[in-house]
Structure 1
Amino acid sequence: MFHYVIKTKFISILTRRLFNNCTYITIDESPKELNNVILSKPAWMWGAEMGANDKNVVIGNEAVWTSNNEGEGDARQKRLLGMDLVRLGLERGSTAEEALDVITSLLEKYGQGGPCSENDDSHIYHNSFLIADCKEAWVLETSGKLWAAEKIISGYRNISNGLTIRTKIDKHSEGLLEKAMALGVWNGKGKFDFSSAFSSGGDEKRQKEGERLLKESTEVGPFTVQDMFNVLRHKDSGICRSCDDTFPTQGSQVSSLSTNSISVHWFTATPDPSISYFKPFIFTPNAQVSPLTESPKEPKREHALYKLHGEHMVSANNDKISEVLRDMERGCLHEIDEFIQKYQQNEKTIDEMDNLMNKCVETEVKLYG
């Protein structure tokens, strides 16, 4: 079973350094001031699977397997992990497109690769990314140092464990078509198709099921945060995988972005969203994340919330507590909506939300007793 502890970590603007120590390699630090970020990350690595920054940029990544596996495409070599690139994009990018440019420039300079598991050196892959802000979203898919990006300005888009960018390519790595021909994955005839050229298979079922669920949810009315929770909890599609699965769903995140009000980021910080509680986080001048989601360094890295959730929800399969958690979540959604309305009417101030997620975590811990 592929198992690791996910933790939620808030990082405020960092002191300027000459170098940036990532999971496996050290890279040059950004010359610009970094953004505040909140990350949902495997406890053992520097990078993150998903997260948000205080400029309303959100990024998540997925593993993909491609045909470009030699030389610069050799994922066995320790370079930048896709998760490192997620964090770097959030720290250095103040718009979705700027984060895209950060990730792709670092990818081309340093490459990607290295084990994506603390305990299994054979777990290696390339990466795809979903990058969004209030204005637009980008899908970025990679094969070694090669990449293609598709701009999304309306509707919905999802990624899974396979390449999805076909012929609509809005940005790409320099010399992509020539390198594809040199690698023998494209004959130079017709319109270039990134997925057809570089894909070596993937989880098409989950990709299609996710697309179907998003389509169904958006057809019946405005798509809500609760709708996204429901998609992430869908078991039959394979999107939500239980803790006894070979590859269980670890942490989950949903972000609601706003240009003229408050953006809210919801995190479980625990595995299997079907038995977890999405807890809200808002960037404020003095935002706090509970120490109960901070992992010890060794040996199991399980933070307090993770352990209690495992004891009371995973092992015991406690339906009663599960319903209480769901009621707490619905209450949070309602209270956040009320707060935003009052904030827009100048009846509330943002600093009232400094300890929002901290309080939610503490309430969950008390419930477990």
Structure 2
Amino acid sequence: MSLQDLTHVDDPVPVPYSLLRVEPQLHESIPLAKVSHPSDVPREQPLHHFQLLDVAILRDVVLLSLVGVVCNTSHLSTLNPLVILIIMSAKPPPPKSCDTFVVLGDRTKGGHIVFGKNSDRPQDEVQEVVYQPTTTHTTGSKVKCTYIEIDQVEKTHAVILSKPSWMWGAEMGANDRGVCIGNEAVWTKLQGDDDSTERLLGMDLLRLGLERGNTAESAMDVITSLLEEHGQGGPCSDTVPGLLYHNSFLIADPTEAWVLETAGRHWAAENIKSGHRNISNALTIGTKMDRASEGVKEAAKEAGWWDGSSEFNFAEAFSADDNSGGRQECGERLLAKLSEGGNFGLLSMLSVLRDDKSGICMSDGFFVSTSSQVSVLSSDGCGRPSCHWFTGTPDPKRSVFKPFIFTDNVKISPHTQSPKIPDDKDPAKVVPRFAKKVNRTHLLYRRQQAAGGCNADTLRDLESKCVLETEAVLENFNMERLSEMDDLFKDCVDSELKFYK
């Protein structure tokens, strides 16, 4: 298709993502693009907003295929095609997606910490909910993460994970000690070509923290020590070429929370004892660093990102993205409003994750909310177990949150688990990687997608009844009857599936 062809289209047309830009003197004449991609920008934005990496001057608009954009072409005929620059490597802008939240006990019902996350990933990626029991490992054994092997520890905790089905690591989850973790993609000045080297993914670090950490702080210690030893790197998607990023984490247990933000092998951490906190896709730790990696200030000073005399600000020194994102600010306002009276609870966090006006709930586009988690964390001795709610399906507005409680003989539903693919046939494990696509959909995903939201009201009623019944049981819980919760998650999945038939 040539530029001449485009100028004769009356209606907006789908154009594969090419990141158009023109010379600065022509910025005022740029047509607007209706944006449908993961970048956190307004729905209508001048085309010159986008950054370019590798460009070439062409006589016609070459349509490159990566991410769909709907482009208003009505004014393209006014432009000289010689000044239209097109990214030949077609790299997407950083996806502004994922939000993780925590509200501490001083602002919640019953003093229980409430954790929540929407995992926003490529729209065709399937996320599964899986359970791994407590396991004792042979001395000297290894654990194979997504790309590399590392030393295994003697014993790992039981974990419930919501994870992209193609990788070993997880986007979010909890362990049987009441620790929850969610991670976010961040972009830092230490990023470069070396990030494509296969190391530990941020999602691997998250799972390792849950498997090995007894508390939020000890899970953070696991993550930071492995980060310093092995580094982070490797493709972060099996369908989006070149998607590479560093990571931040929100880690919570029944008594406190930590925000951990990384830049390469450097990191900073902030302890949260009260109030609320949320993270999105930007570094947020400024001058309040409760812990940090050795040499982090010296590294910033040597690179010219800190003058050495002013108060050190981690985010200012290492952030490569000067846009902290409106979603994070909206999320902060939502948490403040809903927790103002000290009555924040499970339903409050569900409403935050389903808020689409802020962009926290991403129902459509190239990146969508592929799965969600809310956890209500109860301290030892309070008489009730922690309860973790997962969707296992895209779009929290039309998904059902289902409860999970750790028990000695808990049963996880097979219908939230993706089919097992032999290692020698799995494109995520065969080198060169991702040479083909395979079907990773699980039954709950397929049924929910086929329904298309047509029975959303009925399912919301089902969820509401489940929330009321579960909360009533937990309020007067007898720990001696914990085994009665063995099938809780499994039964809820089965009930949801019946409504899709």
Same fold per TM (> 0.5)?
yes
Runs of 4+ in 1 over 3 A off after TM superposition: none
| Root-mean-square deviation over aligned CA pairs | 1.3
Give 1:300's aligned amino acid: N
Unmatched tracts of structure 2, length 5 or more:
1-66, 68-121, 422-437
Give 2:475's aligned amino acid: Q
| 1:351 to 2:472 alignment | no
Residue correspondence of structure 1 range 40-79 to structure 2 within 5 A: 40-70=162-192, 74-79=194-199
CA distance, structure 2, for counterparts of residue 297 and residue 143 of structure 1? 34
Give 2:339's aligned amino acid: T
Q: Is the 8 A contact 2:191 2:245 kept in 1?
A: no
Greater Cα shift, 177-186 or 142-151: 177-186
SS at match of 2:225: helix
Deviations, residues 314-344 of structure 1 (Å, cap 9, x unaligned) = xxx31xx111111111111111122123324
Q: Pick from 147, 152, 158: which aligns with 1:24?
A: 147
SS at match of 2:471: helix
Q: Pick from 465, 487, 493: which aligns with 1:361?
A: 493
Provide the residue aligned with 1:102 in structure 2: 222
In the superposition, the TM-score normalised over structure 1's length comes to 0.94
Residue correspondence of structure 1 range 56-205 to structure 2 within 5 A: 56-70=178-192, 74-201=194-321, 202-205=323-326
Q: Pick from 409, 412, 415: which aligns with 1:292?
A: 415
Provide the residue aligned with 1:39 in structure 2: 161
Identity of aligned residues (%): 52
In the superposition, the TM-score normalised over structure 2's length comes to 0.70
Q: Is the 8 A contact 1:44 1:297 kept in 2?
A: no
Change (3 A) 1:297 1:120: farther
Shift of 1:121: 3.2
Give 1:262's aligned amino acid: P
SS at match of 2:367: coil
Unmatched tracts of structure 1, length 5 or more:
none
From the CA coordinates, give the structure whose radius of gyration is larger: 2
CA distance, structure 1, for counterparts of residue 258 and residue 224 of structure 2? 12
CA distance, structure 2, for counterparts of residue 4 and residue 111 of structure 1? 25
Shift of 1:184: 2.1
| 1:4 to 2:4 alignment | no
Provide the residue aligned with 1:323 in structure 2: 457
Number of aligned residues: 358
CA distance, structure 2, for counterparts of residue 50 and residue 337 of structure 1? 23
| 1:249 to 2:388 alignment | no
Provide the residue aligned with 2:447 in structure 1: 308
Q: Is the 8 A contact 2:402 2:463 kept in 1?
A: yes
Shift of 1:187: 1.5
Judging by fraction of residues, say which structure has more helix.
1
Shift of 1:233: 0.4
Greater Cα shift, 223-232 or 328-337: 328-337
Greater Cα shift, 247-256 or 114-123: 114-123
Judging by fraction of residues, say which structure has more strand.
2
| 1:230 to 2:351 alignment | yes
Give 2:176's aligned amino acid: D
CA distance, structure 1, for counterparts of residue 277 and residue 231 of structure 2? 26
| 1:340 to 2:474 alignment | yes
